Amino acid sequence: MDVKHIRNFSIIAHIDHGKSTLADRMLQITGTVDSRQFKDQILDDMDLERERGITIKASAVMMKYDYNGETYMLNLIDTPGHVDFHYEVSRALAACEGAILVVDATQGVEAQTVANTYLAIESGAEILPVLNKIDLPSAQPDATAEEIEHILGMKKNYCFKISAKTGIGVKELLDAVCELLPPPADRSGEPVAALIFDSHFDEYRGVICYVRIFAGKLTVKQKIKLIGSGKIYQILELGKFGPKMTPVSELGTGEVGYVIANIKGLSDITIGDTITDAVQPAEKPIPGYKKPMQMVFADFYPGDDTDYSKLRKAFEKLSLNDSSFSFFPQNSPALGFGFRCGFLGLLHIDIIQERLERENDIDVVQTAPTVSYEIVTTDGAVKKIDSPSELPDVTQIKELREPFVTLEIITHTDSIGGIMKLAENRRCTLIKTDYISQTRVMLEYKAPLAEIVYDFYDQLKGISRGYATMDYKFTGFEESDLVKIDILVNKTAVDALTLIVHRSNSEARGRKIITKLRKAIPRHQFEIPLQVAIGGKIIARETIKSFRKDVTAKLYGGDVTRKMKLLKKQKEGKKRMKSIGSVQIPQKAFMSILDTSD
C-alpha cells in the first residue's frame, strides 16, 4: 500500500481512562473484529493483564478504514499504562508517527497522562488529545480540556470529545487519524530498515519479532541481518496482525507486521535493533531507544532446596517472554541457592511473582526488593551494586551513590499537606508545585528511588483517599550518606535481611525492622535474640520469647487420626519456613524489612 494511506499510532492514557475500550471500539467500527464474536478488550491477551486491568506487553493490530473514498491502513500499537513500563511505551511510540492521548473527562489529567505525554513528545509523535467518557453525567470535558492546555500545553479547542463506550465521536476520531496524523516518510527506494519494537516467544515457531518498516521492504525467504548483533537469518514468514497473525508475502515501507526467521531464543535479539537486508544492508540503524535499566532487585529462593532447578526452568520460561526481567544465580549463606532477579519496578515484581505461582507449583521465598547502588572504590573504580550484601567493607569505599528519580504526583489540593509530609519523611525534595486547576495540583519531587520503591504508592493512595496518582523517571546516581544495616537472628547475621539505608534514619529503621521481625518470626522452643548492627556496632535488640505451651491435652483412641493430621500440618508449616541455624523464618519475614509502616 502507498505510504500516504498508512497511519501508525498508539493510544496513551492513564490507567482506566479508557484506552482498551477505545481500541475495542475502533476495531469494531473498522470491522476488524466481527461484532458478534467481539470479546471485550482484544489487545490485552494475557489473563493476568485482563485481571489486573493493565496491559503489560505491547501488541499491534491492523485496521482497514475508508475515509474520503480512500482506504487507509491504520496500525494501532498498544502501550502499557503503568509506571514501571515507560520503556515499553517509548518503544511502541518509536514505531509510530502519531499518538492518541486519552484523558478521562470525569477524572482529569493524571500522573501517567503527563508522563506518557512527555514520552510521546520526546518521540516526535503527533498527538491527538481526546476527552473520554463524555457520556457520563460527571464528565467535565471543558475543565479537563483546560487542564490539558495548562499542564500539557495543547490547545483546548483541539480536544476531541468521545465516549469510547458508546462510540460517540469515535468515527470522527478515526477520520482525524487519517486527516491529521502524518503518514510515514516514503523511503521505499532505500535498503530495508525495520525496527523491532517488540517480540514474543512461540514454542513451535521460535521468536516472533514485531516490526515497523521504516525503509525498503521485507520479503519472505529474504536473507536478513540484525544490525546490532550482526546475526544473519532467513525470513520464514511475514505477516500482519488483523488482529490474528495473517501471513503476507511482503511488508513495505511504513507497514507494521511480524517476522519469523528461525530465531531460537529471545536472548538472540534485542528489542530496538534494526533488521536490514543481509546483502544490501542499510547504512545506519534506526535510532532506537534506551534500554530500560533494571532498578529494582529481589532474591528468590526455592522454599524447598530440591526445587532449585524447577525454579531455574520457571525463570527461563518467564524471561523468554519478558526481556526486561533478568535473573542470575545467587548463593546466600542464609537461604542457600537461589536467584537474584532484576525488575523494572515493583509492579513488575508482582507480575513476575504471580506468574511464577500461577504457572509453576513452586514455593518461593522472596527477599525484600532493593535498588541498585553505585560505589566508587578507594582506587577510583565505579561499581554497580545490585545487592546490599555485595557492599565491600567501608574502608574500601570512597563514595556511595544511590539512584534518584523525578517523581510527579497529581492530587487534590486538600491532600497536599499529608503528601508533603510523606515525601519529606522519604527524603524527597520538592522541585515544583503546579496548579492544574483550582482543586488539583501537580507536585514534582526529586526522590531517592529506594524510598519510593516499596510502599510509597500505597501510602500515597491512603493519604489522598485514592485520588493521587504518581509517576517517576530515573535521573541518575548521586552521592548519599548511606550505611549498611545488618540484622542478626539468634546471633547470626542474615545476609538476606541486610539493607542499605540513609544514615539519618538508619537507627529508626533498624529498630522498626526487628520489631516487625519479632512479630513475623513465630516463637520457638527457645528464646531468639534479634539484633541490629550498623557498622559492626549493635544498636538495638529485641527478643522473641520461647513459646510456653504447645500440647494437646487429651489424646485418646478417637483423637488419633485428627491429631496426626494436625501434627503433619505443623511439620509442613516448619518445612515451608527457611531455617537459618536453628531458627525457622517464614517467607513473609523477608519482606517485612522494607515495611516502614507502624
Partner 1 sequence: MDIDNIIENIGLYVHIPFCRSKCRYCGFYSRPVEDYDVERLIAAVITELDNCNCIGSIQTVYIGGGSPSCLPEKSLLRLIEYIYNRWKNIEEFTIECNPGQVNIEVLRKARKLGVSRISIGAQSFDHAELEFLGRTHNVGDITNAVTQAKNAGFDNISIDLIFAIPGSTILSWRQNLMRAIKLGVPHISAYSLSYEDGTILKQQRDAGLFAPVDEETDRAMYELTEELLEQAGFEHYEISNFARPSFRCKHNMRYWQNKPYIGVGPAAASCTGNQRTKNIADIDKYIQAVETNGTTAQETINLSAADIASETAVLNLRTADGINIEDYRQRHNLDICNVFAGPIERHCSLGLIAREKNNIRLTKNALPIADSILCDFIID
Ligand X SMILES: Nc1nc2c(ncn2[C@@H]2O[C@H](COP(=O)(O)OP(=O)(O)O)[C@@H](O)[C@H]2O)c(=O)[nH]1
Q: Which residues bind ligand X (CB under 6 A)?
A: 13, 15-21, 53, 81, 132-133, 135-136, 163-165
Partner that binds at residue 212, options ligand X, partner 1, none, CB closer than 5 to 8 Å by kind: none
On the CB side of 314, CA atoms within 13 Å amount to 24
Helices 346-359 and 308-320: angle between axes, nearest 10 degrees? 120
**CA–CA gap between residue 256 and residue 271 (Å, rounded):** 15
Q: Which is nearer to partner 1, 204 or 556 (CB)?
A: 556
**Shortest distance, position 554 Cβ to partner 1, whole Å:** 6
Of 456, 457, 452, 350, nearest in space to 54 by CA: 350
> Which entry of ligand X, partner 1, none binds 557, CB below 5 to 8 A by partner kind?
partner 1
| Binds 279: which of ligand X, partner 1, none (CB < 5-8 Å by kind) | none
Partner that binds at residue 525, options ligand X, partner 1, none, CB closer than 5 to 8 Å by kind? partner 1
Q: Closer to partner 1 by CB, 34 or 550: give it.
A: 550
Q: In terms of CB distance, is 162 or 375 closer to ligand X?
A: 162
**Least distance in angstroms from the C-beta of 112 to ligand X:** 10
Q: Which is nearer to partner 1, 270 or 492 (CB)?
A: 492
Radius of gyration for the alpha carbons in the chain, expressed in angstroms and rounded: 27
Which partner, partner 1, ligand X, none, binds residue 132 by CB below 5 to 8 Å per kind? ligand X
To partner 1, the closest distance from the beta carbon of 492 in angstroms equals 16
Residue-wise burial string across 555-565, b where 16 or more C-beta atoms lie within 10 A, e elsewhere: eeeeeeeeeee
Which of residues 13 and 335 has its CB atom nearest to ligand X in the complex? 13
Nearest to ligand X of 56, 235 (CB atom): 56
- Non-local (6+) Cβ contacts of 306 within 8 A are none
| Cell of residue 391, nine digits | 557492599
* Angle (deg, nearest 10), helices 141-152 and 111-123: 50
Among partner 1, ligand X, none, residue 537 binds (CB under 5-8 Å by kind): none
- Which cell numbers in the block locate residue 520? 513475623
> Which residues is 209 bridged to in the sheet?
199, 259
Shortest separation between residue 227's beta carbon and partner 1, angstroms: 56
Q: Identify the burial level of 417 via C-beta atoms within 10 angstroms of its C-beta, where 0-12 means exposed, 13-18 middle and 19 or more buried.
A: exposed
Largest CA distance in the chain: 90
Residue 246, helix vs strand vs coil: strand
Q: How do beta strands 126-132 and 160-161 pair?
A: parallel
For partner 1, give the closer residue by CB, 384 or 571: 571
* Residues forming a β-bridge with 247: 239
User: Are residues 322 and 352 in contact, defined by beta-carbon separation less than 8 angstroms?
Assistant: yes
Residues of the shown chain interacting with partner 1 in the complex, contacts defined by CB under 8 A: 525-526, 547-558, 560-561, 563-564, 566-568, 570-571, 574, 582
As beta bridge partners, residue 218 has 251
> Least Å distance between CB 106 and ligand X?
8
Residue 81, binding choice from ligand X, partner 1, none, Cβ under 5 to 8 Å by partner class: ligand X
- Nearest residue to 322 (alpha-carbon basis) of 271, 255, 247: 271
Q: Residue 13: which of ligand X, partner 1, none does it interact with, CB under 5 to 8 A by kind? A: ligand X
Interaction partner, residue 567 (partner 1, ligand X, none; CB < 5-8 Å by kind): partner 1
Length reported for the chain:
598
d(CA 298, CA 340): 6
Query: Residue 91 binds what, of ligand X, partner 1, none (CB under 5 to 8 Å, by partner type)?
Result: none
Minimum CB distance to ligand X smaller for 26 or for 489: 26
Least distance between partner 1 and beta carbon 598 (Å):
23
- Cβ-contact 218, 271 below 8 angstroms: no
Least distance (Å) between residue 576 CB and partner 1: 13
CB of 44 to ligand X, least distance (A): 8
The one-letter amino acid code at 9 reads F
Cβ closest to partner 1, residue 70 vs residue 559: 559
Q: What pairs with residue 70 in β-bridges?
A: 67
Out of ligand X, partner 1, none, which partner does residue 381 contact, by CB within 5 to 8 A per kind?
none
CA atoms lying within 13 Å on the CB side of residue 300? 25
* Amino acid occupying residue 44: D
Q: Which of 389, 392, 373, 374 is nearest to 332 (CA)?
A: 389
Bond preceding residue 243 cis, omega within 30 of 0? yes
Q: In a 3-state reduction of DSSP, which class is residue 260?
A: strand
Grid coordinates belonging to 476? 541518575
Nearest to 404 by CA among 456, 347, 451, 442: 451
- As a whole number of angstroms, the distance between CA 493 and CA 189 comes to 66
Tell me whether residue 35 or residue 525 sits nearer to partner 1 (CB atom).
525
CB of 170 to ligand X, least distance (A): 9
- Least distance in angstroms from the C-beta of 364 to partner 1: 21
The CB-of-559 to partner 1 minimum distance in angstroms stands at 8
19 binds, among partner 1, ligand X, none (CB under 5 to 8 A by kind): ligand X
| Contact between 82 and 54 (Cβ < 8 Å) | yes
CA dist 79 and 516 (Å) reads: 39
Q: Half-sphere exposure (CA, 13 Å, Cβ side) for 21?
A: 20
Of 234 and 546, nearer to partner 1 (C-beta) is 546
Residue 553: which of partner 1, ligand X, none does it interact with, CB under 5 to 8 A by kind?
Answer: partner 1
Instruction: State which residue, 379 or 550, has the beta carbon closest to partner 1.
Output: 550
Instruction: Please report how close the Cβ of residue 577 comes to partner 1 at its closest, in angstroms.
Output: 13
Measured from the CB of residue 155, what is the shortest distance to ligand X in angstroms?
A: 22
Residue with smaller CB distance to partner 1, 232 or 560? 560
